[in-house]
Chain A
Amino acid sequence: MTLSINQVTKRYQDFVAVDNLSFTIEKGEIFGLIGQNGAGKTTTFRMILDLQETTEGTIMWNEKHINSINRDILGYLPEERGIFPAMTVESQLYFFGELRGKLRKDLHKEVDYWIERFELEDKRKAKAETLSKGNQQKVQLIASFIHQPEFLILDEPFSGLDPVNKDLLKNAILELKEKGTTILFSSHQMDNVEELCDHLCLLKRGVSLFTGSLLDLKKQYGKTKLTIRTDISKEKLEKLDGVKDIQVGKDQYTLTLEDETYAQSIFDFVSDGKYIEKFSLDYLTLDEIFKDKVGGTNV
């Protein structure tokens, strides 16, 4: 066990930001913290980073209290982006690397590698303020892990990135995982969480609604999402046993089943022993589960 959050509560005078939160993250794992705005994600990050104190509970890193560890093993990308506007890309990366305890000579290789990897070669000597928002974000992202931290916290790392840069970031996160970095991140974009996370914690107003593996969460709901392409009318499909809801798409229906056991009888009815173009039974997406758990409001 690497990070362990035990019954942590953060209470202010008139509200509770985080309520009795517990989860653990294993070494080399990617852990997702998801929740709406104000769910307590950033407060949790700040308590882990020792920027805020816990009201109750403990946060441990390798059995040691998080306040007592050397902070250089941590990397952090805050939700709102911030870099030094008048500093060049290169000097910014060296500065943050040195601030995290690395020697300048040990940073050359890393700086060169990540600048090239994130396609910032021509911006190396440019001041950060002259870069586009997306490029600034890439610089800050590199700055957060240039010192090769053991534990990296990324608060909304994907927001504001275009699809190409999102893929770059996704691959970088996976590369860091392979190197053994433990990663905790939050995101509003559930597809990213779904693709990257091994385990997750679903927060609503400071309270954990679910903590565990993504697969376990999906299994809770079962394979109840059925997508079919057929000429049969919506009215006929609605009358079938086990169908809770039908959404009509462009050229297909998406049925929500009460239980995955009804799938067989629906298949028999729809195919009638003949070839069928599409019949797909799936788990709910994380996005759908999230909306169901937190009450259908925007993420």
Chain B
Amino acid sequence: MSKFWLLVKQLYTQKVKAKSFIFSILLYVVVISAVMFWSDIKEALFKDEPLQVALVNETDADIESLFKSDNDVEFTFPTEEIAAIEKQVVDGDYDAAIFIKDQEKSLAAEIATYEPLTFNDQLSLSSQLQYAGKLYEVQQLNLSAEQAEKILQSETVISMKNLNEQSSTGKSEDEKAAGIGASFLVGFLIYSFVMTFLSMITTDVASEKGSRVLEVLLASVKPSTHFLAKLTGTFLLALTQIGTLLLVQGLLFMFIDNGSKWDVVLDTINELSVGFIGYAVVFLLLTIVLYLIIGALLGSLVSKVEESSQAMMPAMMLGIIGFYVLLSGMYSPDTLLIKIFSFIPFTSGMVMPLRIGATDISSFAPMLSLLILIGTVVLLFLISLSFYKRSVLTYSSGGIIQKIKTVLKVTT
């Protein structure tokens, strides 16, 4: 076995058996499963009593039929006096009472409560009342039930036609919704993997340097071999973690709840284009490589392992910025901020998949962003390789800038 592969094997076997590595995979599985099965978990653990609502219709119209009871809200239609019903609300027999009356041919509703309603309950009641209000006004026009229904159910069919041939064909809303969901998942995975493996490689190089075992290693292998072995070993660990995660998660989805969530995953994948998946994978892998290079370089600068968290802070900040920009684009993925950060190599991995998945974007933009990312990876690799040779055996105190100055001073 060559020295390069010996170093890779040593790093890989040591880390892959570490409890923290296995634990982190389990943690990912638990978090992703909790998100996917949230509605089931919520139902099982926090089964709420439906909201008790008394509805008093003071108009002549048949409005009661519009308010159907379900798991969340149970409507009753008492005929007592208003004061009596209000007392029942105060006593807690009802959570709310709705008094509906006519006000100049429009519907007016008053919601009386003793304990304030939650925002969601309030929203749900309001939307039902709005619908009832529209129906009431349509009824005033003396239309037939079918005519009224037609007006209320009317929906404009909107399709997109993109006249720019350079740009990809317009996406449907479903595609965009799937794109946003998948982009968030990709962005989140890139962010968390980048942070995990950045930390791993920085700490690993720093601990070897701090414990001086690096001097022994570098007496028999070239610094460039060591640098490449660290990158390769950690990258293989990242692939192992991603692979294991996908496998375990996939199996869980397939076998729990008759594969209901597996169908959701397949549906989402079907909504996504091959281009999106391809780009997402390439951006994921390249961004991990980019941050590994930075991590190894930062690790080589510190004198002892305790300084590694301070050293990796600048790279962590870049990752966090990317993640926050991604979050900002969850509801409007077309902002200028998103566009700018989708071309910056340290954040493009998190932001560009969102633009590809959730917006109508020309094929040129992702390609350009990818080229910038590849160019940065290559450039940073060459710079880091040359700097690593000099920094890895230089011990100095002070902040990162001071350490870089010292390395330049003692090696030039």
Give A contacts to B, CB under 8 Å: 12-14, 46, 49, 51-52, 71-72, 74, 76-87, 95-96, 98-100, 140, 143-144
Among B174-216, those with CB < 8 Å from A are 208, 211-216
Residues of B within 8 A of A86 (CB): 14, 18
- B409 lies within 8 A of A51 (CB): no
* Chain B 5-26: CB-based contact to A (< 8 A → 1; otherwise 0): 0110010001000100000000
Query: What residue of chain B has the Cβ atom nearest to residue A14's Cβ?
Result: B409
Q: A74-B220, A87-B14, A98-B1 are in contact. Are A82 and B410 (CB under 8 A)?
A: no
- A84 lies within 8 A of B220 (CB): no
Q: A12-B409, A82-B211, A83-B211 are in contact. Are A76 and B219 (CB under 8 A)?
A: yes
Among B362-412, those with CB < 8 Å from A are 393, 409-410, 412
Tell me the smallest distance from the CB of A183 to a CB of chain B, in Å.
15
Query: What residue of chain B has the Cβ atom nearest to residue A53's Cβ?
Result: B411
Say yes or no: is B218 at the interface (Cβ < 8 Å to chain A): yes
Residues of A within 8 A of B211 (CB): 81-83, 85
How many contacts between A and B, using CB within 8 angstroms? 63
Q: A49-B219, A71-B219, A99-B217 are in contact. Are A82 and B14 (CB under 8 A)?
A: no
Once bound together, how far apart are the Cα atoms of A78 and B14, in whole Å? 23
Tell me the smallest distance from the CB of A59 to a CB of chain B, in Å.
14
- A13 lies within 8 A of B412 (CB): yes
Q: Chain B's interface: helix, strand, loop or mixed, by majority?
A: helix
Tell me the smallest distance from the CB of A90 to a CB of chain B, in Å.
14
- B6 lies within 8 A of A51 (CB): no
Query: Can you list 12 residue pairs at the A/B interface with Cβ under 8 Å?
Result: A12-B410, A51-B218, A51-B219, A74-B220, A76-B215, A76-B219, A82-B208, A82-B213, A82-B216, A85-B211, A95-B6, A100-B220
Say yes or no: is B3 at the interface (Cβ < 8 Å to chain A): yes
**Partner of A51 from B1, B3, B208, B215 at Cβ < 8 Å:** B215
Once bound together, how far apart are the Cα atoms of A144 and B213, in whole Å? 11
Known: A49-B219, A78-B215. 13 other contacts (CB 8 A): A51-B219, A52-B393, A71-B220, A77-B216, A78-B216, A81-B212, A82-B208, A82-B212, A82-B216, A83-B213, A84-B14, A84-B213, A96-B216
Q: A13-B410, A46-B393, A82-B211 are in contact. Are A144 and B216 (CB under 8 A)?
A: yes
- B214 lies within 8 A of A82 (CB): yes
Query: What residue of chain A has the Cβ atom nearest to residue B408's Cβ?
Result: A13
Q: A12-B410, A99-B217, A99-B221 are in contact. Are A78 and B10 (CB under 8 A)?
A: no
Once bound together, how far apart are the Cα atoms of A98 and B10, in whole Å? 11
Once bound together, how far apart are the Cα atoms of A95 and B221, in whole Å? 13
Once bound together, how far apart are the Cα atoms of A83 and B217, in whole Å? 10
Tell me the smallest distance from the CB of B213 to a CB of chain A, in Å.
4
Once bound together, how far apart are the Cα atoms of A147 and B1, in whole Å? 16
Which 7 pairs, one residue from A and one from B, show the smallest C-beta to C-beta distance? A82-B212, A82-B213, A82-B211, A76-B219, A78-B215, A80-B212, A49-B219
Q: Chain A's interface: helix, strand, loop or mixed, by majority?
A: loop
Residues of B within 8 A of A98 (CB): 1, 6
**Partner of B216 from A12, A72, A76 at Cβ < 8 Å:** A76
Query: What residue of chain A has the Cβ atom nearest to residue B217's Cβ?
Result: A99
Once bound together, how far apart are the Cα atoms of A51 and B410, in whole Å? 13
Residues of B within 8 A of A49 (CB): 218-219
- B393 lies within 8 A of A13 (CB): no
Query: What residue of chain A has the Cβ atom nearest to residue B392's Cβ?
Result: A51
Residues of B within 8 A of A143 (CB): 216
Once bound together, how far apart are the Cα atoms of A143 and B213, in whole Å? 11
With most chain A CB atoms within 10 A of its CB, the pick from B7, B14, B213, B393 is B213
**Partner of A74 from B208, B219, B393 at Cβ < 8 Å:** B219
- B409 lies within 8 A of A99 (CB): no
Q: A74-B220, A99-B3 are in contact. Are A51 and B213 (CB under 8 A)?
A: no
* Chain B 211-248: CB-based contact to A (< 8 A → 1; otherwise 0): 11111111111000000000000000000000000000
Residues of B within 8 A of A100 (CB): 220
Query: What residue of chain A has the Cβ atom nearest to residue B389's Cβ?
Result: A51
**Partner of B220 from A14, A72, A80 at Cβ < 8 Å:** A72
Once bound together, how far apart are the Cα atoms of A12 and B218, in whole Å? 21
Residues of A within 8 A of B220 (CB): 71-72, 74, 99-100
Once bound together, how far apart are the Cα atoms of A299 and B3, in whole Å? 39
Residues of B within 8 A of A13 (CB): 409-410, 412
Once bound together, how far apart are the Cα atoms of A95 and B215, in whole Å? 15
Residues of B within 8 A of A80 (CB): 212
Once bound together, how far apart are the Cα atoms of A12 and B220, in whole Å? 25
